[in-house]
Amino acid sequence: EDPELKRVEEKLILDNVNGVARPGQLLVIMGPSGTGKSSLLDCISGRKDSKGGLGGYITINGASTTTVREHLVFQAQLHMGKRASTQEYEKRVDEVMEQLGLVKCRDTLIGGASRRGISGGERKRLSFASEILSNPSLLFVDEPTSGLDSFMAETVVRQLQQIARDDGRTVVVTIHQLSSELFVLFDQL
């Protein structure tokens, strides 16, 4: 037997569990760190390997070279493909920026470790904007309030609530810790 190969013991974690997440609802999966919230989200969203995937940033000397609007136009082109015109990309980007309160920072560089850019809350909303460009009916969001102060955390959750209500989307969120102010914003726990 190869000493590099280790036998992994199979362990049943969940059995015969079900739930319902309805359109227009904001649902939270809550629990302490390390309890499997992100793994559960990976399972129910159909992601096979949460550790894999590709990603990247365009920087010059470590600084972001992309504004919020440029980033979203690029994302729209990826999501909408050649079936849409430049005017359609731009119209959709403008709608999403308006919906998520990103209009005031549309021409601001996103920034990064070495260059100040948009705020943490704006960065979270930009991430949501990138995802909803393609009008998904179901949105999974993993730990959207981590690293934010209580004011920004509430702002982000209210934005997710608005996405669910206004567009009839189902939004499923994982959260490590939930204040009473945030708790009342969710439809299901």
Alpha helices in 31-146 (DSSP H): 37-45, 68-80, 86-99, 120-132
Q: Which residue has the tokens 């999966």?
A: 29
1 falls within a domain: no
Burial of 100-125, coded b for 16+ CB within 10 Å and e otherwise, reads bbbeebeebbbbeeeeebbeebbbbb
Domain enclosing residue 173, as ranges: 26-44+64-183
Residue 149 sits in a domain whose CATH number is 3.40.50.300
Other residues' Cβ atoms within 10 Å of the Cβ of residue 47? 14
How many folded domains does the chain comprise?
Answer: 1
20 vs 164 pLDDT, higher one: 164
77 falls within a domain: yes
pTM: 0.69
**DSSP-assigned beta bridge partners for residue 170:** 138
**DSSP-assigned beta bridge partners for residue 63:** 60
Residues counted in the chain: 189
57 falls within a domain: no
50 falls within a domain: no
16 falls within a domain: no
Please give the share of the chain, as a percent, with pLDDT higher than 70. 82
What pLDDT does residue 3 have?
A: 59
